[in-house]
Amino acid sequence: MIDSHCHLDHEPMFSDLKNVLHRSKLAGVKKILSICTTNESFKRIKNIVQFDPIIYGTYGIHPHETSKHNVSKEEIIQNVIKNDKIIAIGESGLDFYYTHSDKNIQIINFKNHIEAAIDLNLPIIVHSRNAEIETFEILNLYKNKKPKILMHCFTGSIEFAKKLLKLNSYFSASGIITFKNSLDLQKTFDSIPIDKLLVETDSPFLAPSPHRGRKNEPCYITHTLEKLAEIKKISFKEADLKTTENFNILFNLN
């Protein structure tokens, strides 16, 4: 199993990293991707990725933070090329549900992240909330350059997923698919080919059932994978093998 998106630099995981990693390995987690959200986050991630061979990291500015961290394509590239365990750009994107950052600043930063990812030939990890039209329009601008796209914690519509599939996008399922009221989202994931799916915890957020309401961590990925297997009508083993293979293909890892 691979947790394709978590935040090991967040509490309560950061101060208990040894035990978090121990529980993850006991559960069968083979790789963990710890996601950057700010420049301060990246300082911690550069140390975290050295903590254990199974941990990898990213560099990027979350859309909520773009008003405080306005980064150029060149800055993004320089941060990434200095560490071979930084394997993706993000998370970046658009969040129009909250107004933590100006929309235009979010858009400028999103484009900078996409262009850096294209130049580096690395995946761009995309956050999109209440911005389906704008997210697709921006990604579609770069379709001829074939960006490697991962839609993180995907909660979009079937129609949005279909358009993103035309861009060869991958989609990551979070613990939200285990929630009883997520029937529409489950149908969306049923419609996406298995060779385009990954799983994530987004820990410490969005703990899956039966841990909903608690702080999440990578070892809980088993519950999301079990639900994905149920949705796709395949065995847990097959879901594990496919999502692991998809991650390794997307991120060019063995």
| pLDDT tens for each residue of 70-112 | 899 999 999 999 899 999 999 999 999 887 889 999 999 999 9
Distance CA 21, CA 179 (A): 25
Mean pLDDT score across all residues of the chain? 96
Residue 69: pLDDT band (50, 70, 90) is confident
pLDDT at 233: 98
Token pair, residue 47, equals: 């140390």
58 has pLDDT over 80: yes
Q: Does pLDDT of 158 surpass 90?
A: yes
Yes or no: say if 84 and 46 are a contact pair by the CB < 8 Å rule.
no
Q: Would you tell me how many other CB atoms lie within 10 Å of the CB of residue 40?
A: 12
As a dihedral over the C-alpha atoms of residue 181, residue 185, residue 191, residue 195, rounded to 10 degrees, the angle is -120
DSSP 8-class letter at 235: -
Instruction: Report d(CA 140, CA 3) in Å as an integer.
Output: 27
> What mean pLDDT do residues 169-185 have?
97
